């Protein structure tokens, strides 16, 4: 179980993963060694899965963000596996979910421009034999950035 100190440590690391044991100790009112041990335990126990840099998509030339819904024509296990493999191999797809409802998959994609999004949809996704429908929503503005998880 997580105690309040663990939750505060996780919240702090979500804001800044570069915090040292000394800085964490100061924030949490612990010694640096205690803060470091807590961090290590949370990593070992799987609460902390990874540390990553958050990049600016526009600075990288990725000017179009979209959500793409995919509906399958058939739900045979081989088809689902094949579509999941296709999605997993596309670098422009940064997140993918299986869903309930009309769509079977929801993808979050970043593309250089509308032509690149069009190519992804019409040359990669729609030609797959299991895919019956693709619908996209282009993000006009992201007014709330990806937030830390509540702890």
pTM flag (> 0.75): yes
Give the chain's domain count. 2
Note whether residue 55 is domain-resident: no
Burial 81-100 (b: 16+ CB within 10 A, else e): eebeebbeeeebbeebeeee
Residue 24 in contact with residue 12, Cβ under 8 Å? yes
DSSP label at 102? S
pLDDT along the chain (151 residues), means of 10: 96 95 97 97 96 93 98 90 96 96 96 98 97 97 90 87
Provide the pLDDT for residue 5.
97
CB-CB neighbours of 24 under 10 Å: 21
Whether 69 and 132 share a structural domain: yes
Count each helix (H run) and each strand (E run) in the chain, helices first.
5, 4
Note whether residue 52 is domain-resident: no
Provide the pLDDT for residue 148.
86
């Amino acid at each position: 179980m997580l105690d309040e100190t663990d939750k505060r440590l996780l919240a702090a690391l979500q804001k800044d993963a570069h915090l040292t044991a000394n800085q964490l100790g100061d924030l949490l009112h612990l010694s640096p060694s205690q803060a470091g041990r807590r961090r290590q335990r949370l990593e070992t126990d799987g609460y902390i899965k990874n540390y990553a840099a958050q990049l600016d998509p526009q600075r990288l030339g990725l000017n179009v963000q979209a959500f793409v819904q995919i509906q399958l024509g058939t739900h045979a296990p081989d088809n689902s596996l094949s579509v999941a493999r296709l999605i997993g191999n596309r670098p422009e797809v940064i997140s993918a979910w299986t869903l309930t409802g009309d769509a079977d998959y929801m993808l979050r994609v970043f593309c250089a421009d509308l032509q690149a999004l069009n190519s992804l949809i019409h040359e990669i996704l729609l030609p797959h034999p299991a895919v019956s429908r693709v619908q996209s929503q282009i993000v006009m503005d992201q007014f709330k950035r990806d937030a830390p998880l509540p702890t």
